[in-house]
Structure 1
Protein backbone atom coordinates (compact mmCIF):
# COMPACT_ATOMS: atom_id res chain seq x y z
CA UNK A 1 0.00 0.00 0.00
CA UNK A 2 1.47 3.35 -1.05
CA UNK A 3 1.45 6.41 1.17
CA UNK A 4 -0.31 9.41 -0.43
CA UNK A 5 1.78 12.52 -1.01
CA UNK A 6 0.96 15.92 0.45
CA UNK A 7 -0.19 17.20 -2.95
CA UNK A 8 -2.50 14.21 -3.35
CA UNK A 9 -3.98 14.79 0.12
CA UNK A 10 -4.61 18.48 -0.71
CA UNK A 11 -6.31 17.56 -3.99
CA UNK A 12 -8.48 14.96 -2.24
CA UNK A 13 -9.40 17.47 0.48
CA UNK A 14 -10.34 20.13 -2.10
CA UNK A 15 -12.54 17.59 -3.91
CA UNK A 16 -14.32 16.73 -0.66
CA UNK A 17 -14.81 20.42 0.20
CA UNK A 18 -16.24 21.17 -3.26
CA UNK A 19 -18.50 18.13 -2.91
CA UNK A 20 -19.77 19.44 0.44
CA UNK A 21 -20.30 22.96 -0.96
CA UNK A 22 -22.67 21.52 -3.57
CA UNK A 23 -25.11 20.73 -0.75
CA UNK A 24 -28.20 22.99 -0.75
CA UNK A 25 -27.74 23.81 2.95
CA UNK A 26 -24.34 25.35 2.22
CA UNK A 27 -25.43 27.45 -0.77
CA UNK A 28 -24.53 30.72 0.99
CA UNK A 29 -20.88 29.69 1.51
CA UNK A 30 -18.58 31.36 -1.06
CA UNK A 31 -16.49 29.21 -3.42
CA UNK A 32 -13.13 30.06 -1.80
CA UNK A 33 -14.18 31.02 1.74
CA UNK A 34 -11.70 32.55 4.12
CA UNK A 35 -11.59 31.56 7.76
CA UNK A 36 -13.14 34.96 8.65
CA UNK A 37 -16.04 34.39 6.24
CA UNK A 38 -16.75 30.94 7.68
CA UNK A 39 -16.56 32.38 11.21
CA UNK A 40 -19.02 35.13 10.20
CA UNK A 41 -21.49 32.58 8.76
CA UNK A 42 -21.31 30.59 11.99
CA UNK A 43 -21.91 33.82 13.96
CA UNK A 44 -25.08 34.50 11.89
CA UNK A 45 -26.36 31.02 12.69
CA UNK A 46 -25.63 31.62 16.40
CA UNK A 47 -27.39 35.05 16.30
CA UNK A 48 -24.16 36.96 17.04
CA UNK A 49 -24.10 38.64 13.62
CA UNK A 50 -26.51 40.07 11.05
CA UNK A 51 -26.81 39.62 7.33
CA UNK A 52 -27.46 43.05 5.82
CA UNK A 53 -27.95 44.27 2.27
CA UNK A 54 -26.35 47.34 0.72
CA UNK A 55 -28.68 48.78 -1.93
CA UNK A 56 -26.58 50.64 -4.46
CA UNK A 57 -29.10 51.06 -7.23
CA UNK A 58 -28.87 51.05 -10.20
CA UNK A 59 -26.06 48.56 -9.51
CA UNK A 60 -26.84 45.16 -7.96
CA UNK A 61 -27.19 44.96 -4.19
CA UNK A 62 -24.41 43.52 -2.04
CA UNK A 63 -24.97 41.26 0.96
CA UNK A 64 -22.66 41.59 3.96
CA UNK A 65 -22.35 39.82 7.28
CA UNK A 66 -21.60 42.13 10.19
CA UNK A 67 -21.25 41.37 13.88
CA UNK A 68 -23.54 43.08 16.35
CA UNK A 69 -20.65 45.06 17.82
CA UNK A 70 -19.31 46.18 14.41
CA UNK A 71 -19.05 49.87 13.55
CA UNK A 72 -19.99 51.78 10.41
CA UNK A 73 -16.26 51.86 9.63
CA UNK A 74 -16.26 48.03 9.62
CA UNK A 75 -19.28 47.98 7.27
CA UNK A 76 -17.37 50.29 4.91
CA UNK A 77 -14.34 47.98 5.05
CA UNK A 78 -16.47 44.89 4.31
CA UNK A 79 -18.24 46.75 1.50
CA UNK A 80 -14.89 47.69 -0.03
CA UNK A 81 -13.66 44.08 0.15
CA UNK A 82 -16.85 42.78 -1.46
CA UNK A 83 -16.80 45.36 -4.28
CA UNK A 84 -13.14 44.62 -5.00
CA UNK A 85 -13.92 40.89 -5.02
CA UNK A 86 -16.77 41.46 -7.50
CA UNK A 87 -14.50 43.58 -9.70
CA UNK A 88 -11.87 40.84 -9.64
CA UNK A 89 -14.44 38.14 -10.47
CA UNK A 90 -15.66 40.21 -13.42
CA UNK A 91 -12.08 40.43 -14.66
CA UNK A 92 -12.19 44.25 -14.66
CA UNK A 93 -8.71 45.15 -13.43
CA UNK A 94 -8.39 48.29 -15.54
CA UNK A 95 -10.48 50.49 -13.27
CA UNK A 96 -9.06 51.82 -9.99
CA UNK A 97 -11.61 52.83 -7.36
CA UNK A 98 -10.73 55.83 -5.23
CA UNK A 99 -12.24 54.88 -1.88
CA UNK A 100 -11.28 58.27 -0.42
CA UNK A 101 -13.45 59.91 -3.09
CA UNK A 102 -16.27 57.39 -2.59
CA UNK A 103 -16.54 58.08 1.16
CA UNK A 104 -16.31 61.86 0.61
CA UNK A 105 -19.14 61.69 -1.93
CA UNK A 106 -21.39 58.91 -0.59
CA UNK A 107 -22.57 57.58 2.74
CA UNK A 108 -24.79 54.79 3.99
CA UNK A 109 -28.40 55.59 4.90
CA UNK A 110 -30.49 53.46 7.25
CA UNK A 111 -34.19 54.30 7.72
CA UNK A 112 -33.71 57.85 6.35
CA UNK A 113 -30.77 58.47 8.72
CA UNK A 114 -27.34 59.14 7.30
CA UNK A 115 -24.65 57.05 9.00
CA UNK A 116 -22.02 59.81 9.13
CA UNK A 117 -20.34 58.66 12.36
CA UNK A 118 -17.86 55.91 11.48
CA UNK A 119 -17.61 54.86 15.13
CA UNK A 120 -21.36 54.22 15.56
CA UNK A 121 -22.09 50.63 16.64
CA UNK A 122 -24.41 48.58 14.43
CA UNK A 123 -26.66 47.30 17.24
CA UNK A 124 -27.08 50.81 18.72
CA UNK A 125 -28.12 52.28 15.36
CA UNK A 126 -30.98 49.79 15.13
CA UNK A 127 -29.59 47.61 12.36
CA UNK A 128 -30.91 44.06 12.67
CA UNK A 129 -30.98 40.85 10.64
CA UNK A 130 -31.91 41.49 6.95
CA UNK A 131 -31.70 45.29 7.30
CA UNK A 132 -31.15 47.28 4.12
CA UNK A 133 -28.66 50.15 3.94
CA UNK A 134 -28.72 52.48 0.97
CA UNK A 135 -25.62 54.02 -0.55
CA UNK A 136 -26.64 57.66 -1.01
CA UNK A 137 -24.86 60.70 -2.36
CA UNK A 138 -23.91 63.39 0.14
CA UNK A 139 -25.48 66.73 -0.72
CA UNK A 140 -24.36 70.33 -0.35
CA UNK A 141 -25.44 72.24 2.73
CA UNK A 142 -28.63 74.10 1.92
CA UNK A 143 -27.96 77.63 0.69
CA UNK A 144 -24.19 77.16 0.50
CA UNK A 145 -21.73 75.52 -1.82
CA UNK A 146 -19.89 73.83 1.02
CA UNK A 147 -19.28 70.15 0.44
CA UNK A 148 -21.21 67.91 2.80
CA UNK A 149 -18.10 65.99 3.92
CA UNK A 150 -16.46 69.25 5.05
CA UNK A 151 -19.57 70.13 7.00
CA UNK A 152 -19.59 66.65 8.52
CA UNK A 153 -15.95 66.94 9.62
CA UNK A 154 -16.46 70.45 11.00
CA UNK A 155 -19.54 69.30 12.98
CA UNK A 156 -17.63 66.33 14.37
CA UNK A 157 -14.67 68.47 15.53
CA UNK A 158 -17.02 71.09 16.94
CA UNK A 159 -19.05 68.54 18.93
CA UNK A 160 -15.92 66.86 20.31
CA UNK A 161 -14.43 70.16 21.43
CA UNK A 162 -11.57 70.10 18.92
CA UNK A 163 -10.64 73.08 16.75
Structure 2
Protein backbone atom coordinates (compact mmCIF):
# COMPACT_ATOMS: atom_id res chain seq x y z
CA UNK A 1 0.00 0.00 0.00
CA UNK A 2 2.89 2.35 0.75
CA UNK A 3 4.25 1.68 -2.75
CA UNK A 4 0.98 2.88 -4.27
CA UNK A 5 0.99 6.03 -2.12
CA UNK A 6 4.61 6.76 -3.06
CA UNK A 7 3.83 6.22 -6.74
CA UNK A 8 0.73 8.44 -6.52
CA UNK A 9 2.79 11.26 -5.02
CA UNK A 10 5.33 11.13 -7.86
CA UNK A 11 2.79 11.14 -10.71
CA UNK A 12 1.14 14.27 -12.09
CA UNK A 13 -2.61 14.69 -12.17
CA UNK A 14 -2.68 13.95 -15.92
CA UNK A 15 -0.61 10.79 -15.39
CA UNK A 16 -3.04 9.58 -12.70
CA UNK A 17 -5.99 10.20 -15.01
CA UNK A 18 -4.29 8.22 -17.77
CA UNK A 19 -3.47 5.32 -15.44
CA UNK A 20 -7.06 5.28 -14.16
CA UNK A 21 -8.51 5.34 -17.68
CA UNK A 22 -6.28 2.52 -18.88
CA UNK A 23 -7.07 0.44 -15.77
CA UNK A 24 -10.81 0.92 -16.28
CA UNK A 25 -10.49 0.09 -19.97
CA UNK A 26 -8.65 -3.14 -19.13
CA UNK A 27 -11.25 -4.02 -16.50
CA UNK A 28 -14.21 -3.35 -18.82
CA UNK A 29 -12.79 -5.28 -21.78
CA UNK A 30 -11.76 -8.30 -19.70
CA UNK A 31 -15.10 -8.70 -17.85
CA UNK A 32 -17.60 -10.82 -19.78
CA UNK A 33 -20.58 -8.81 -18.51
CA UNK A 34 -19.07 -5.42 -19.29
CA UNK A 35 -17.22 -6.25 -22.51
CA UNK A 36 -20.01 -4.91 -24.78
CA UNK A 37 -19.69 -1.43 -23.24
CA UNK A 38 -17.45 1.15 -24.91
CA UNK A 39 -14.10 1.59 -23.15
CA UNK A 40 -14.67 5.34 -22.79
CA UNK A 41 -18.12 4.96 -21.23
CA UNK A 42 -19.52 7.90 -19.31
CA UNK A 43 -21.55 7.93 -16.11
CA UNK A 44 -24.78 8.78 -17.96
CA UNK A 45 -24.45 5.57 -20.00
CA UNK A 46 -23.75 3.47 -16.92
CA UNK A 47 -26.85 4.83 -15.17
CA UNK A 48 -28.91 4.12 -18.30
CA UNK A 49 -27.67 0.53 -18.47
CA UNK A 50 -28.50 -0.01 -14.80
CA UNK A 51 -32.00 1.39 -15.38
CA UNK A 52 -32.50 -1.08 -18.24
CA UNK A 53 -31.39 -3.97 -16.05
CA UNK A 54 -33.84 -2.90 -13.34
CA UNK A 55 -36.69 -2.61 -15.87
CA UNK A 56 -36.98 1.17 -15.48
CA UNK A 57 -35.88 1.97 -19.02
CA UNK A 58 -36.18 0.43 -22.46
CA UNK A 59 -33.80 0.02 -25.36
CA UNK A 60 -34.90 1.28 -28.76
CA UNK A 61 -33.00 0.71 -31.98
CA UNK A 62 -32.94 3.54 -34.52
CA UNK A 63 -32.38 2.39 -38.09
CA UNK A 64 -30.95 4.86 -40.59
CA UNK A 65 -30.63 4.21 -44.31
CA UNK A 66 -26.99 3.25 -44.92
CA UNK A 67 -25.72 3.94 -41.42
CA UNK A 68 -25.21 1.66 -38.41
CA UNK A 69 -28.18 1.15 -36.12
CA UNK A 70 -28.22 3.36 -33.02
CA UNK A 71 -29.11 1.83 -29.65
CA UNK A 72 -30.93 4.42 -27.56
CA UNK A 73 -32.08 4.00 -23.95
CA UNK A 74 -35.11 5.94 -22.68
CA UNK A 75 -37.32 5.68 -19.57
CA UNK A 76 -40.41 3.50 -19.99
CA UNK A 77 -42.76 6.47 -19.63
CA UNK A 78 -40.84 8.65 -22.12
CA UNK A 79 -42.58 11.00 -24.52
CA UNK A 80 -41.71 11.41 -28.18
CA UNK A 81 -39.72 14.57 -27.41
CA UNK A 82 -37.75 12.66 -24.73
CA UNK A 83 -36.96 10.02 -27.34
CA UNK A 84 -35.82 12.67 -29.82
CA UNK A 85 -33.53 14.23 -27.19
CA UNK A 86 -32.10 10.80 -26.34
CA UNK A 87 -31.42 10.15 -30.04
CA UNK A 88 -29.62 13.48 -30.35
CA UNK A 89 -27.56 12.83 -27.22
CA UNK A 90 -26.65 9.30 -28.29
CA UNK A 91 -25.66 10.51 -31.75
CA UNK A 92 -23.47 13.25 -30.25
CA UNK A 93 -21.65 10.60 -28.18
CA UNK A 94 -21.33 8.43 -31.30
CA UNK A 95 -19.87 11.37 -33.25
CA UNK A 96 -17.43 12.14 -30.43
CA UNK A 97 -16.23 8.53 -30.26
CA UNK A 98 -15.71 8.28 -34.01
CA UNK A 99 -13.92 11.64 -34.11
CA UNK A 100 -16.45 13.17 -36.49
CA UNK A 101 -16.82 16.92 -35.90
CA UNK A 102 -19.77 17.53 -38.23
CA UNK A 103 -22.40 19.74 -36.60
CA UNK A 104 -25.92 18.30 -36.85
CA UNK A 105 -28.92 20.61 -36.96
CA UNK A 106 -31.53 18.64 -35.06
CA UNK A 107 -34.12 21.31 -35.82
CA UNK A 108 -33.60 20.54 -39.52
CA UNK A 109 -33.65 16.76 -38.92
CA UNK A 110 -36.98 16.84 -37.06
CA UNK A 111 -38.44 19.25 -39.64
CA UNK A 112 -37.40 16.95 -42.49
CA UNK A 113 -37.82 13.45 -41.03
CA UNK A 114 -40.34 11.65 -38.84
CA UNK A 115 -39.79 8.66 -36.62
CA UNK A 116 -41.71 5.67 -37.93
CA UNK A 117 -42.74 2.50 -36.09
CA UNK A 118 -44.55 -0.21 -38.08
CA UNK A 119 -46.04 2.37 -40.45
CA UNK A 120 -47.11 4.67 -37.61
CA UNK A 121 -45.56 8.12 -37.51
CA UNK A 122 -44.62 9.39 -34.06
CA UNK A 123 -45.90 12.90 -34.71
CA UNK A 124 -47.10 14.21 -31.32
CA UNK A 125 -44.10 15.30 -29.26
CA UNK A 126 -46.15 15.37 -26.03
CA UNK A 127 -47.55 11.86 -26.46
CA UNK A 128 -45.99 8.91 -24.64
CA UNK A 129 -44.13 6.48 -26.88
CA UNK A 130 -46.08 3.51 -25.54
CA UNK A 131 -49.25 5.09 -27.03
CA UNK A 132 -47.71 4.26 -30.42
CA UNK A 133 -46.92 0.68 -29.36
CA UNK A 134 -43.21 1.33 -28.87
CA UNK A 135 -41.84 -1.18 -26.36
CA UNK A 136 -38.46 -2.63 -25.41
CA UNK A 137 -36.14 -3.67 -28.25
CA UNK A 138 -38.24 -2.34 -31.14
CA UNK A 139 -36.75 -0.70 -34.21
CA UNK A 140 -37.77 2.77 -35.33
CA UNK A 141 -36.82 4.25 -38.68
CA UNK A 142 -36.40 7.73 -40.04
CA UNK A 143 -38.98 8.50 -42.72
CA UNK A 144 -38.76 11.52 -44.99
CA UNK A 145 -41.71 13.85 -44.48
CA UNK A 146 -43.99 14.45 -47.41
CA UNK A 147 -44.38 18.06 -48.45
CA UNK A 148 -47.81 19.53 -48.02
CA UNK A 149 -49.34 20.96 -51.17
CA UNK A 150 -50.36 24.59 -51.00
CA UNK A 151 -53.53 25.23 -52.93
Bucket of the pairwise TM-score, normalised by the shorter protein: 0.7 to 0.9
Give the Å deviation of 1:50: 1.0
Q: Distance in 2 between matches of 1:49 and 1:59?
A: 25
- Cα deviations by residue, 1:67-119 (Å, 9 ceiling, x for unpaired): 101111111112112222333333332x3322111111101011211001111
1:43 counterpart residue number:
51
Picking from 50, 62, 71, the partner of 2:79 is: 71
- TM-score, normalization by structure 1: 0.75
Q: Pairwise CA RMSD of aligned residues?
A: 2.3
Q: TM-score, normalised by structure 2?
A: 0.80
- Paired with 1:34 and 1:96, the residues of 2 have a C-alpha distance of 21
Q: Does 1:26 align with 2:56?
A: no
DSSP 3-state at the match of 2:55: coil
Deviation at 1:65, TM superposition (A): 0.9
Counterparts of 1:58-97 in structure 2, within 5 Å, are 58-93=66-101, 95-97=102-104
2:108 corresponds to 1:107: no
Partner of residue 53 from structure 1, selected from 51, 57, 61: 61
Identify if the C-alpha distance between structure 1 residues 90 and 15 changes in structure 2 by more than 3 Å, giving closer, same or farther: closer
Aligned counterparts of 1:50 and 1:134: Cα–Cα separation in 2 = 17
Structure 1 stretches lacking a partner, 5+ long: 147-163
